[in-house]
Amino acid sequence: MADATPFPEALTEGYRAFLDDRFVREQDRYASLAEGQSPEILIISCCDSRVSPEVIFDARPGELFVVRNVANLVPPFETGGEYHGTSAALEFAVQALKVKHIVVLGHARCGGVRAYADDAAPLSPGDFIGRWVSLIRPAAEALGDEPRGPDYLEQLEFATVTNSLRNLMTFPCVKILVERGKLRLHGAHFGIATGQLRIRDPETGEFRLAEPDRAAAATRLIRCQDEAGSGG
């Protein structure tokens, strides 16, 4: 009888490539990491397959503690009897690993943010997405009642990152360490097509290009490739 549940071929191929290349290069690192991890950075990012923090930040194994959920949301601190996956990971990163930085990483074309903005219909009776993305409401309210412009979704993506940073400060363990200067919170936004990373200025709340010169060069390169492609 044929195997009814073959493991995805793309994954076995990728795993072979990992064994042949990265695992060989990082073998010593993996061996020492088996003793324990001590990442200094917690990243809270979206589940979106295009926004892998390890890829964007060219991170090595053991460097980033990553929590991914729909729309990179942090719920406010609460001790109700629900299941709090993100809060559990946050608690472990802050209390046990004692990370020094928390980065909330938003991104362009976020389906979770769009689902909130469009008030999308539930995908199932549980409406898990709808209930989860209702956490975006304070971010949307912060944008005010102005008519939605063409960049509304991007503005809501930025505001959602800011709202997650605000919610982080409702966790007593986070608030205390931030006030003592032992933990720093950061917001960022990844542009996908452009590769542009924007970092939130904590003073003004603006999201500014992290590497403006390089980002401009990358955009020129994309344009050249587009023109070369369209001319052929």
Number of Cβ within a 10 Å radius of residue 222: 13
Nearer of residues 69 and 87 to Zn ion, judged by Cβ: 69
Residue numbers at the binding site for Zn ion (CB under 5 A): 46, 48, 110, 112
Nearer of residues 49 and 124 to Zn ion, judged by Cβ: 49
Instruction: Give the rounded distance of the alpha carbon of 8 from its chain centre.
Output: 25
CB of 191 to Zn ion, least distance (A): 13
* Residue 27, burial from CB neighbour count under 10 angstroms (0-12, 13-18, 19+): exposed
CB of 148 to Zn ion, least distance (A): 19
CB of 73 to Zn ion, least distance (A): 10
CB of 47 to Zn ion, least distance (A): 7
Nearer of residues 53 and 112 to Zn ion, judged by Cβ: 112
Distances (CA, A) of 36 to 53, 86, 96, 131: 21, 21, 12, 36
Nearer of residues 39 and 112 to Zn ion, judged by Cβ: 112
